[in-house]
Amino acid sequence: MTVAPAQDRSAAGRALRRTRRIPWRRGELWPIAYALPAVAAVALVFLYSFVEVVRYSLYSGSIGTLTYVGFANYGALFQDPVFTTSLFNNLKLLSIVPIVTLLALAVALVINTGVRGWRLYRIFIFFPYVLPATAMGLAFSFILQGSGTLNTLLQDAHLGFLAHDWLGSPKWVIFSISGVIIWQQLGFGVVIFSAALLAVPAELIQAAQIDGASWWVIQRRILIPQIRRIIQFFMIIMAITALSSVFTYVYVLTGGGPAYSSSVMEFYIYQDGFENGAIGIASAAAVVLLGIASVLIVLYLWVRTRTMRESTQ
């Protein structure tokens, strides 16, 4: 057997290293170059807008007559009872997170048992989620008003003591909006949880059944722990929705009334920025809302990263 000279081996090694570098550069740098236009567009649309909102939050007045006031707008926000009411209403809407999560999980667990017609049930439950929020809000505005369909049915069933002015009473309006949001978002949770349950290995369930585990024990000890990360992901998404994606419901159902009792931060920003022309106050409120939502977004990204990391192990 002949042995190649050391000089030839070193030359071959340098050539091999060069051939290895080129694919690395093509595999790593070219995709980044292709993505740069999209990244630049996103930076222009979102980053520039964010900087402008923060800048406007330091000024008072309308466009064209702005006066620098520093952080005074932020102090004025928390002295405005409409803003504090809007902020507390957003926090109240966070109560939908555990409710819709438990309902969606319960329905998904029942569907996962393979009840007859489960595919049809899943379609019916998911259907409200794809409906336009505006159309749904208009429909529920007729159902929930004082002389609406719901109260008429309650009166006909001799349950008039349960009838309320669901959208006209400051006591009930936030609960009514919460019910509409739960009704729409329920299908989203059912589909996510059903898909996660289908991915659970059947061997785990079969082993538990052989050991004599009951249906409830299988759900509580095997299935629910297996989809724990998905449940956390869904709860964070619902929290972000309750904070920053409820404007359409409020605008269509109540217009922020009665007496701003159903106003939320998005609606407050819309009114000050577009109706009242108070661009500084609206921008300051937008920064506060972004700060609150950013905490949830960071938490969502952390949960998603952990979920993807565990799924690849």
**Residue bearing tokens 């170059």:** 33
pLDDT band at 28 (very low <50, low <70, confident <90, very high): low
Q: Which of 122, 246, 229 is nearest to 173 (CA)?
A: 246
Neighbours of 58 (CB within 10 A): 18
pLDDT of residue 131: 87
Q: Which of 90, 183, 99, 105 is nearest to 140 (CA)?
A: 183
Q: Which of 268, 293, 295 is nearest to 73 (CA)?
A: 268
pLDDT of residue 24: 46
Do the beta carbons of residue 263 and residue 89 sit within 8 Å? yes
Is the sign of the CA dihedral 41, 42, 45, 48 positive or negative?
negative
pLDDT of residue 14: 56
pLDDT single digits (tens) 139-165: 998 899 888 889 999 999 988 888 988
Size (the chain), residues:
313
Residue 271 CA to residue 53 CA, distance in Å, equals: 16
pLDDT single digits (tens) 244-284: 889 999 999 999 989 899 999 999 999 998 888 889 999 99
Do the beta carbons of residue 89 and residue 289 sit within 8 Å? no
Do the beta carbons of residue 82 and residue 263 sit within 8 Å? yes
Worst-scoring range by mean pLDDT, 9-13, 31-35, 66-70, 224-228? 9-13
CB neighbour list of residue 198: distance below 8 Å, 6 or more residues apart: 112
Across the range 108-122, mean pLDDT stands at 81
Strand runs labelled E in the chain: 59-60, 67-68
Across the range 17-33, mean pLDDT stands at 58
pLDDT single digits (tens) 40-61: 888 888 888 889 999 999 998 8
pTM: 0.81
